[in-house]
Structure 1
Amino acid sequence: MAQKVSGVVKDETGKPVTGATVALVKASDSATVKFAVTKAGGEYSFTAMPAGTYRVKSTSTGFSNAYSEVLAVATEDVSVADVQMKKLTADLNAVVVTAKKPMVEIKADKTVLNVEGTINAVGSDALELLRKSPGVMVDKDDNLSLSGKNGVRIYIDGKPSPLSGADLADYLKSMQSSNVEAIEIITNPSAKYEAAGNAGIINIRLKKNKNLGTNGSANAGWGIGNYPKYNAGLSLNNRNAKTNLFGTYNYNYNKGLGTIDSYRTAADTIFDGYTKMINRNIGHSYKAGMDYFINSKQTIGVMVNGNISNGSMNTDSKTDIIFQPTKTDVRKLQAY
């Protein structure tokens, strides 16, 4: 697909707003499809989104949130949506200062998508979070690319994941978004990372419980698209001054629908095809480990994690073959 939405974010005077967080949201329910960050000239762009109706939401410190008009994006469309932001005014006699992490942070060496404490922390999985992340593309086969380049390496808490391909996708689907603190997107990895991954590094930081004593949490989520999907998880933690024991288990069920329409001609023959793909994935993931705190700056630990997944795909294809040798002699066959 080649759909694209782009535009410029400006203030009331026409000056570009640099570093604003821009979200492509569905017009129907405001669900976020993709994030981006404006460049020096206020420009942003989104590519390869499904056809549908959208709005562009822009947020930035010192400005009130702003939205574009509703866009109807069809196949092969290139749409332009400029956004104008309004500066906030405050009563200096009654100013209350609060600190809150932005959804997307631009740092010298990486871009960070903050997940904890946001709407993205509920009812999703790590692969869906990557679909929304700036510069990250996930194709129909769940392969990852970064800024249009293949060969992305996935790290978990700063350690390279040994998984790749379908195994990596299944693992990311089984990782609930409620367990993710942030996603770091590193297009130019430093020496601390391995040289592998010429497209860059995506480091997924998982949440860690820092409360003393024994505690835990349970969560469950449910969603509906073409088919229902649901997930559940349990987390337990025991921490004292010197050690920390932890463990998590997550269950994820996801069923999706994909379709392909094709139409081509060859000489006097027309091939009109339709393919329906129903994929189902059941995932179990677990993590258990222990940390020992040598001092305030040094920690050693051991951790075991893994996942068990069971996926399937049913494909139903139909092609109508129409022969048109003359205008009066038309025959139609169906191939299944």
Structure 2
Amino acid sequence: MTTRTTPTRSTQVQLVARPQGWPTHDDFRTVIVDLPELGPGEVRVQNEFVSVDPYMRGRMNDVKSYTPPYPLGETMAGGAVGRVVASTAEGIAVGDVVLHQLGWRDVAQGPAAAFRVVPELPGVPLSAHLGILGMTGFTAYVGLLEIAQMQPGDTVLISGAAGAVGTAAGQIARLKGAGRVVGSAGSAEKVALVTQRFGYDAALCYKDAPVREQLPALVPDGVDVYFDNVGGDHLEAALDVMNRGGRIALCGAIAGYNTTDRVPGPDNMAKVITQGLTLRGFTLGDHMRHYADFARDMGEWFAAGQIDHDETVVDGIDHAVDAFLDLMRGASTGKMVVRTGPRG
């Protein structure tokens, strides 16, 4: 077994109650766990960053979905990146940077198969492996290019433009030859950000007026591809302006994640028929065969300085719930992560 100075306890955040509407701190607890000695083929990892993501809200509900709900009384699962501090596994050494899905904890331990070694890129924070270089960037890539079949010259509309997936999707659309990229965001500052840094030609603030009223002026020639992270009023507004044969990738519906009432559906679904539209939902597990293409393209763009990325960092595993609630309220820009390791 190889080791460096290694922690023997892990601080973890667990779900203890199913949220009704908006989650509260009472739905979670923080525990400190004594770690056992490493068994054969195991590793111990000092996490540096833990991911909080919108999909986690759905897993807090005890409903059938594409992935099982979070069990009560267990540590929240999700993406994390850290550095190996002890290993009895061949192929994973102390000091290696690894990704895993063991979630909201400052120290992770388990079999080697639960961890994937990733490169440490000069000048790039490890958190990028949770965002633009990881599942966030891959979500944008799959949604645009596989699900919506974006073509050069298309007008592309993206809701949640200032979020982690939205900032990636705007840039990928531009790099893949979109004719016009338009988005929605939650403040004037975020509108300025996405148009100045993340590939958008124009954007609207959905808090200024109904999206349905604002959108037509931004897309006078209609929309060919809509990447939906929001649902609700955004989907309704998009249906109004879709061109014939348009394609809609349904990635998320954050507008309804925390409501206790039924979210009204669009009143213009007849557009799907009259315009010959395609609406297709997706989750990444069905599309991992495209990961090699994503890794190749994103690696080339990143090396060439063609991709920008942003993140909101909250310090301390004990503030993971705060970070998640801020994310759900739209208080973050780019990828939201919790820093569990030292400042770098």
Say whether the fold is shared (TM-score over 0.5). Answer: no
Q: TM-score, normalised by structure 2?
A: 0.27
**Which structure shows the higher strand fraction?**
1
Q: Which has the higher contact order (CA 8 A, sep 6+)?
A: 2
**Which structure shows the higher helix fraction?**
2
